[in-house]
């Protein structure tokens, strides 16, 4: 188990959802705290509480914007979405929370931790290309 996966498990055990975990991981890596931002990210949980866009993808876009708003807008978010669709959209038939979970709440525990870890690493890669180390 990697350090990132351990941290994901710890944050999940504290009741954080996917979008919150994405931003919390970045804040921790940046040695920063922002509880209000973490609370605000709850609005993206569970696909906007409607099974829509995956909270990990939405949280990843917010993470990129938090670190480098201009580069996020210009190219990083589009690249993240393209990668996410190719990686998980093809595997699960879409990038919505509902598609990824496939009407099985247990998939939240089986699929989501890996999706979180891979997406966080992709965000780190995109940020590194833009000159940011997290």
**What is the pLDDT confidence band of residue 52, given thresholds at 50, 70 and 90?**
very high
Average pLDDT over residues 36-42: 98
**Integer Rg of the chain from CA:** 14
- Per the CB < 8 A criterion, the answer to whether 57 and 95 are in contact is yes
DSSP bridge partners of 53: 96
Per the structure, how many domains does the chain have? 1
Share of the chain above pLDDT 70, in %: 100
Tell me which residue range forms the domain holding 56.
3-129
Is 134 within a domain?
A: no
Is 35 within a domain?
A: yes
Is 51 within a domain?
A: yes
Is 42 within a domain?
A: yes
Is 20 within a domain?
A: yes
């Amino acid at each position: 188990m990697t350090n990132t996966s351990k941290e994901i498990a710890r944050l999940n055990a504290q009741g954080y959802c996917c979008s919150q975990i994405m931003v919390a991981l970045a804040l921790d890596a940046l040695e920063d705290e922002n509880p209000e931002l973490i609370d605000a990210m709850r609005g993206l949980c569970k696909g906007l509480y409607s099974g829509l866009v995956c909270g990990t993808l939405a949280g990843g876009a917010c993470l990129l914007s938090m670190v480098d708003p201009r580069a996020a807008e210009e190219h990083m978010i589009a690249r993240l979405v393209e990668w996410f669709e190719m990686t998980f959209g093809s595997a699960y038939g879409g990038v919505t929370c509902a598609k990824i979970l496939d009407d099985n709440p247990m998939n939240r525990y089986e699929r989501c931790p890996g999706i979180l870890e891979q997406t966080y690493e992709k965000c780190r890669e995109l940020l590194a290309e833009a000159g940011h180390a997290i």
